[in-house]
Structure 1
Amino acid sequence: MPRERLSVVVTRRLPDVVETRMSELFDVQLRTDDAPMSKLQLTEAMKYADVLVPTVTDVIDAGMLASAGPQLKLIASYGAGIDHVDVATARQRGILVSNTPGVVTEDTADMTMALILSVTRRIPEGLALMQSGSWTGWAPTALLGGRVGGRRLGILGMGRIGQAVARRAKAFGMQIHYHNRKRLRPEVETELEATYWESLDQMIARMDIVSVNCPHTPSTFHLMNARRLKLMKPSAVIVNTSRGEVVDENALTRMLRSGELAGAGLDVFERGISINPRLRELNNVVLLPHMGSATEEGRIEQGEKVLINIKTFDDGHRPPDLVVPSML
């Protein structure tokens, strides 16, 4: 007699090829629209699903896990971030948590460089001028930005994405500096021509551009707070493609408005879609709707990792991308 298929609930629309394959393998409940599930809908799904496939915007807290059914044994998250799931409580309740690391590295690094160039070369201002039809022609002093070659780039968080940013920035002729919990191996530093700073304060005070590429954890919340932002040079630029909570958004907005910082490029925000309206008004700021990982190839690869994690679990083995306490 064939074994009963796993009951899988997916919280958002995924690429068609991923949904099709998931339907072939499991008893899957897919979303018919692309709206996020409410907290109540998520809680209800956890009462009957064997596997939940949430995304990084689905917050799963201790209370929701406490009301989960005994059959829920795996939360196979679609995305690399894991701060939206209370992993410790899940483990206490015998629920495994997996994610999809490494897939968005190159895509996010590409977007980091795009933001650096957009801010320093004033690309959105030029685009707005052309779209409004108000451009009157080339002028020697119009829309003057700054060249990135020779500038000091300080990378906060030198994991996969930080190193991918370093490789790209090196090709642009930038000087690579970094701060990380652990110093890179000497051969990696040599390859990237990267200078390590044990003191974050000392590094950011000397950088022309700071790129935030560290995860959001309790220890990185507001790591770039008002005090640290004030250490940056008035001519400096900050770019964040990691997690909005790492930067104090209100303090950043005040400094950009007062001219204490030259510019910012942000793909993530501290309060999700609730962005400080004053931040949106500034012409020295480039804001993107969390699209750093938004490539067709990346989204499909993420889905394939989710499928492998669930299938491996279904076969009685440990999911390859299992989140363990040492990662938190």
Structure 2
Amino acid sequence: MNQKVVVFSQIHEKILAKLKSNYHVVVIDPKLGDVNAQILKESEDADALIGAGRVLGAHNLKNAKQLKIISSVSVGYDNYDLDFLNQQKIWLSNTPHVLTETTADLAFALMMGAARQIAHLDQWTKAGHWKRTAGPAQFGQDIFGKTLGIVGLGHIGAAIARRGFYGFNMDILYHNRREKIEVAEALNAEYCELNDLLQRADFVVVTVDLNADSKALFGAKEFALMQPHAVFVNIARGAVVDEAALVDALRNKQIFAAGLDVYEKEPLQSTALFELDNVITLPHVGSATLETRYKMANLAYQNLKLALNKQKPRYIVNPTFS
């Protein structure tokens, strides 16, 4: 009970109750002022941090002298300064796998919604514009039997590919840092270079990690390679895409449509994307279902619990310290 846990973002209420029953818990509250200042102060004597969506590193953890683990309620970990955490011998854990299927569901929903202009036509209909039979301006793109290009064939990318292959009889192309032979064979998926994939795919779905190689991976050159009927979907990280170049490609009809769940700057506020009818903009909700968010929070709790019991957590981002 003496061990202190700092909760630095919203977390499932059942998991918060578990934490409070086993540890001394402090919850960071944006209503109380500067979040980084709160983290800096409360981490001084903290044994663990749990949460997601905050940038954590030397600027707000420099006084955390007894911190053993940051248990992130997420798969991605680009918000965390790994070099600093390694130097301080602080474990960083994450929650892979439990959100794979629900995130793949959302990617496919974005793909289908953008292809058939679902969001735009919903607003068009509600605005009273449906006064006669729908014409070419309301037409969309077929999905069944088309070519699906996956950029990043990890767990989520493979789950999206399965939906396309088994559910929609799609041909699968993929680009990855290395070939995924076993996964690809099951889906009859063809490995190809990025430029080749962009030229051939009817749908391009991005699921890569954010790193030095993937930052600004998609810019004006890449969108120019895509087919004019192509649909672009990004559920990876906003920084993977040059947003201004995407806006130009959509505005100039270089591509048909886009479905986005992530952005260069979040939360998304004023943006040229809002001026376009051929883009769906979601508020970073890839894993946002009641069931999945509970599974993620519970896994993060288990990682934290193991670390505070002096055991190695199940999912560690930095298993060895430099």
> Which TM class, normalised by the smaller chain length?
over 0.9
Whether 2:23 is the aligned partner of 1:52: answer no
Q: In the TM superposition, what whole-angstrom CA distance separates every residue of 1:248-278 from its partner, at most 9, and x where no partner exists?
A: 1111111111121211110100112245621
- Displacement after TM superposition at 1:32 (Å): 6.1
Letter in 2 for 1:53: I
Q: Distance in 2 between matches of 1:143 and 1:52?
A: 49
* Residue 89 (structure 1) aligns with: 84
For the Cα contact (< 8 Å) 1:104–1:298, is it kept in 2?
yes
- Once the two structures are superposed, residues 126-170 of structure 1 have per-residue CA deviations (whole angstroms, 9 ceiling, x without a partner) of 211232244225446562111101211110000000000001111
**What's 1:246 paired with?**
240
- Unaligned runs of 5+ residues in structure 1 are none
What's 1:12 paired with? 9
Structure 2 vs 1, CA of residues 274 and 296 (structure 1 numbering), >3 Å: closer, same or farther?
A: closer
1:194 aligns with 2:194: no
Which residue in 1 is equivalent to 2:315? 321
Number of the residue aligned with 1:119: 114
Letter aligned with residue 173 of structure 2? H
Which of 137, 154, 158 lines up with 1:159 in the alignment?
Answer: 154
Question: Quick one: distance in 1 between partners of 2:19 and 2:278?
Answer: 44
Query: Partner of 2:73 in structure 1?
Result: 78
Which whole-Å deviations, capped at 9, do the CAs of 1:42-92 have from their partners, x for residues lacking one?
Answer: 22222221111131x200133333x22211121111111100000121111
Instruction: Name the structure, 1 or 2, with higher relative contact order (CA <8 Å, separation 6+).
Output: 2
Which residue identity is paired with 1:287? T
Change (3 A) 1:137 1:18: farther
Percentage of matched positions with identical amino acids: 35
Amino acid at match of 1:61: G
**Matching of residues 1-328 of structure 1 within 5 Å:** 4-31=1-28, 38-55=35-52, 57-65=53-61, 67-139=62-134, 141=136, 143-170=138-165, 171-185=167-181, 187-197=182-192, 199-274=193-268, 277-324=271-318
Query: Deviation of residue 34 (structure 1)?
Result: 8.5
- RMSD of the alignment, in Å? 2.0
Q: Equivalents in 2 of 1:69, 1:142: separation in Å?
A: 58
Letter in 1 for 2:186: E
CA distance in 2, matches of 1:288, 1:110: 14
The number of residues matched between the two structures is: 319
SS in 1 for 2:5: strand
Aligned pair in 2 of structure 1 residues 315, 75: CA closer, same or farther (>3 Å)? Answer: same
Could you tell me how far 1:177 is from its partner in structure 2? Answer: 0.6
C-alpha distance in 2 between matches for 1:159 and 1:102: 10
**Within 2, Cα distance between the matches of 1:82 and 1:30?**
21
Provide the rounded CA distance (Å) in 1 between the counterparts of 2:134 and 2:248: 32
Distance 2:190 2:33 in 1: 42
Counterpart of 2:177 in structure 1: which amino acid?
R
Given that residues 57 and 85 in structure 2 are in contact (C-alpha distance below 8 angstroms), is that contact kept between their aligned partners in structure 1?
Answer: no
Q: Structure 1's 63 and 31: CA in aligned 2 closer, same or farther, altered over 3 A?
A: closer
> What SS does structure 2 have at the residue aligned with 1:218?
coil
Q: Is the Cα contact below 8 Å between 1:234 and 1:262 reproduced in 2?
A: yes
| 5+ long unaligned stretches in structure 2 | none
Amino acid at match of 1:20: A
| Other structure's SS at 2:123 match | helix
CA distance in 2, matches of 1:193, 1:205: 19
Distance in structure 2 (CA, Å) of the matches to 1:120 and 1:35: 44
Conservation of the 8 A alpha-carbon contact between 1:240 and 1:266? yes
TM-score (structure 2 length as normaliser): 0.93
Which shows bigger deviation, 224-233 or 92-101?
224-233
**Cα 1:177–1:142 shift into 2, 3 Å:** same
Give me the whole-angstrom Cα distance separating, in 2, the residues matched to 1:79 and 1:207.
30
Any idea what SS the aligned residue of 2:92 has? strand
CA distance in 1, matches of 2:291, 2:31: 19
Could you report, residue by residue, the CA deviation over 1:84-125 in whole angstroms, capped at 9, with x for unpaired residues?
000121111111111111121111100111011111111112
| Mapped contact 2:29–2:35 kept (Cα < 8 A) | no
Secondary structure of the structure 1 residue equivalent to 2:288: coil
